[in-house]
Amino acid sequence: MEAIRNAFDFTDLPRGEMIIAALALLFLLLFPVLPHSSFAMATMIQFLMFSLYGMGWNLIGGYGGQVDLGKAQYVGIGAYTTALLMIRLDVPFWYSLPVGLALAVIWSFIIGYPLFRLKGHYFAIATIATSLVLKDIFEVWNFVGGARGLEIPLKGNLPNWLYLQFKQDYYYFYVLLAMFLVGLIYVNGFRHSRLGFQLRAIKDNENVARSLGIDAHWCKIKAYATATAFVAAVGSFHACYNFNIEPEDVMSLDLSVLIALMAMLGGAGSMWGPIIGAAILVPMKSYLGDWLGGKAGMAGMDLLLYGAIIMFIAAVQPRGVYGIVEALRARRRR
């Protein structure tokens, strides 16, 4: 009961944040009825997906301070479970989603247990390695379609809520928005939860946390598994949204890095950080690419600027954009 009350308790946030969050929520709810281009809609869906990825990553990477660069493997597990069940056994999305979550979480325990023996950079590089191993195996495993991937067949008579197949994107948008709100409420509860406090203690000083009787290893694994659930859920959604999945697409190193990057640039360890990061980087990437990519002689210009901005933020304010906001607030208070 306590946990549920905590999850819906946003009252400890500064008033300014509450107002902005409410306005942003209103904007999101109304977005499909506002006049918009379809590219803006597609970008919004990407934004919601990456916010959710980032929120998940933030649980272990932000609150726990463990730099995880292998989240894509769980995106893949979620996506592949949904796609396989749908193709082979004709199972609707809503039933395969929990199955995918469960599989991903089980796998995260198997991987997480040895993984958390490592610390710091060793941990970061090892997460990359585990993700690459799983991707490589999927690429040669014929049961899951190998490198050729899986394609979900189109059902007739759209919209089809059971299989999550729609013609118009706003259906996907609202499904994802619902997932986003559930995620947000969960993260809000996580902030006040026992595990949340334990993790922050571990991040500040693991030895001290241990001496206080916190089982650091087990705490990290729990947070890692929770993060995995977020990521796998979005993976399941991705399979239905994209109709086609390949290891190269859903399990790539690029995706792992992007997930962590957005959360970190927004501000790791804060509730709004990953959302802010996704809100800045996703539109920037889409529109820079759209604006410059098609131009002759400008190949690479968009990613070049993108890289420059990442360097700039990382150098100026290591705690990300939310860190800048906090610094400004602190200055005003003074």
Greatest Cα pair distance in the chain: 63
> Measured from the CB atom, is 7 or 71 closer to other proteins?
71
Q: Which of residues 160-199 bind other proteins (CB under 8 A)?
A: 167, 169
Residue of 1, 211, 332, 334 interacting with other proteins (CB under 8 A): 332
Taking residues 84 to 113 in sequence order and writing x for each that binds other proteins by CB under 8 A, - otherwise, the string is: ------------------------------
Residue of 98, 120, 194, 212 interacting with other proteins (CB under 8 A): 120
Least Å distance, CB 326 to other proteins, is 9
Residue of 61, 76, 266, 273 interacting with other proteins (CB under 8 A): 61
Rounded Cα gap, residues 255 and 95, in angstroms: 26
DSSP 128-190: HHHHHHHHHHHHH-GGGTGGG-EEPPPPSSS-BTTTTB-SSHHHHHHHHHHHHHHHHHHHHHH
Residue of 13, 25, 40, 201 interacting with other proteins (CB under 8 A): 40
Least Å distance, CB 245 to other proteins, is 9
Stretch of 82-90, 96-104, 174-182, 247-255 lying at the interface with other proteins (CB under 8 A)? 247-255
Least Å distance, CB 126 to other proteins, is 6
User: Hunting for tokens 């299989």 — which residue is that?
Assistant: 163
Rounded Cα gap, residues 80 and 271, in angstroms: 29
Rounded Cα gap, residues 116 and 133, in angstroms: 17
Is 260 among the residues that bind other proteins (CB under 8 A)?
yes
Is 302 among the residues that bind other proteins (CB under 8 A)?
yes
Is 244 among the residues that bind other proteins (CB under 8 A)?
yes
Residue of 22, 102, 129, 208 interacting with other proteins (CB under 8 A): 129
What secondary structure letter does DSSP report for 244? E
Stretch of 43-51, 72-80, 82-90, 220-228 lying at the interface with other proteins (CB under 8 A)? 43-51
Contacts of 283 (CB under 8 A, 6+ apart): 43, 47
Rounded Cα gap, residues 304 and 44, in angstroms: 23
Residue of 11, 157, 296, 334 interacting with other proteins (CB under 8 A): 296
Contacts of 292 (CB under 8 A, 6+ apart): 298, 301, 302
Is 124 among the residues that bind other proteins (CB under 8 A)?
yes
Residue 212 has phi, psi (to 5 degrees) of -85, 0
Tokens of 324: 């800048």
Is 157 among the residues that bind other proteins (CB under 8 A)?
no
Number of residues this chain uses to bind other proteins (CB under 8 A): 99
Stretch of 96-104, 175-183, 188-196, 246-254 lying at the interface with other proteins (CB under 8 A)? 246-254
Is 48 among the residues that bind other proteins (CB under 8 A)?
no
Tokens of 253: 């190193």
Is 16 among the residues that bind other proteins (CB under 8 A)?
yes
Residue of 261, 275, 278, 281 interacting with other proteins (CB under 8 A): 261
Q: Which residues of 49-61 are buried (b: 16+ CB within 10 A; e: fewer)?
A: bbbbbbbbbbbbb
Is 314 among the residues that bind other proteins (CB under 8 A)?
yes
Q: What three-state secondary structure class fits 332?
A: helix
> Measured from the CB atom, is 7 or 173 closer to other proteins?
173
Provide the sign of the torsion angle of the four alpha carbons 284, 285, 287, 292, taken in this order: positive
Q: Which of residues 135-154 bind other proteins (CB under 8 A)?
A: 136-137, 139-140, 146-149, 151, 153-154
Beta carbons of 63 and 269 less than 8 angstroms apart: yes
Is 306 among the residues that bind other proteins (CB under 8 A)?
yes
